[in-house]
């Protein structure tokens, strides 16, 4: 059993003297977390494809058992996952028409790298939601996409595209080009 952490993904700090059922280390974290969770679009929140995740980014169920991105019995509704105090944040399981481009290490001196700007602009699918990754060094671009095999582009860049069988550790920190 991992030690309980603040459920606001940007904090993830230890819970000092946690009350039973408490999810956040402070009221500040609670307010910030609720703000970012509200940013997910209905297209995502309406689906029962949500999990919790540990600090080490393993997906877990709302009751703390290992979750699988290929076993829908381990997923939950957005509200159930959001209210859960398990782990260090939320995850969204790709599939059912929603895929994601995962851009890693795409910032240089606080600015989105040119290759990433070009790649994001060139995304052919309809974009559903874009957010900063937990490290703030990456971007997730959720798109409307049929399920299919994943793709990695690693010619000096770091882009992965998945449409099924994967989950994304989400932050809700909206990102705009």
Residues that bind Zn ion (CB under 5 A): 6, 8, 11, 13, 25, 29
The nearest distance, CB 162 to Zn ion, in angstroms, is: 29
Token pair of 151 as six digits = 């793709």
Nearest approach, Cβ of 59 to Zn ion (angstroms)?
21
Q: Tell me how far, at minimum, the Cβ of 30 lies from Zn ion, in Å.
A: 8
Which of residues 31 and 117 has its CB atom nearest to Zn ion in the complex?
31
For residue 40, report the phi and psi dihedrals to the nearest 5 degrees: -65, 135
Q: Which residue has the tokens 């603040």?
A: 6
CA distance linking residue 110 with residue 118, whole number of Å: 17
Q: How far is the CB of 5 from Zn ion (least distance, A)?
A: 8
Q: Which is nearer to Zn ion, 2 or 71 (CB)?
A: 2
Which residue number, 99 or 172, has a Cβ lying nearer to Zn ion?
A: 172
- Among residues 33 and 143, whose Cβ is nearest to Zn ion? 33
Nearer Cβ to Zn ion (8/50): 8
Shortest approach of Zn ion to residue 22 CB, angstroms?
Answer: 11
* 155, burial (CB in 10 Å: exposed 0-12, middle 13-18, buried 19+): exposed
Q: Can you tell me the distance from the alpha carbon of 109 to that of 98, in angstroms, rounded to the nearest whole number? A: 31
Q: Between the CA of residue 59 and those of 83, 93, 112, what are the distances in Å?
A: 16, 9, 28
The total of other beta-carbon atoms located within 10 Å of residue 66's CB is 12
């Amino acid at each position: 059993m991992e030690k309980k952490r603040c459920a606001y993904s940007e904090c993830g700090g230890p819970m000092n003297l946690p009350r039973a059922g408490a999810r956040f280390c402070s009221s500040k974290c609670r307010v910030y977390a609720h703000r970012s969770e509200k940013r997910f679009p209905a297209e995502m929140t309406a689906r029962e494809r949500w999990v919790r995740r540990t600090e080490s980014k393993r997906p877990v169920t709302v009751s703390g058992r290992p979750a699988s991105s290929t076993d829908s019995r381990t997923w939950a509704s957005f509200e159930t996952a959001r209210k859960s105090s398990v782990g260090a944040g939320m995850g969204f399981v790709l599939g059912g028409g929603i895929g994601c481009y995962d851009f890693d290490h795409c910032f240089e001196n606080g600015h989105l790298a040119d290759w990433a700007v070009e790649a994001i602009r060139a995304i052919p699918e309809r974009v559903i939601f874009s957010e900063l990754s937990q490290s703030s060094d990456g971007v997730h671009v959720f798109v409307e996409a049929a399920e299919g095999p994943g793709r990695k582009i690693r010619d000096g860049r770091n882009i992965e595209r998945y449409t099924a069988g994967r989950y994304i550790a989400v932050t809700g920190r909206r990102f705009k080009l």
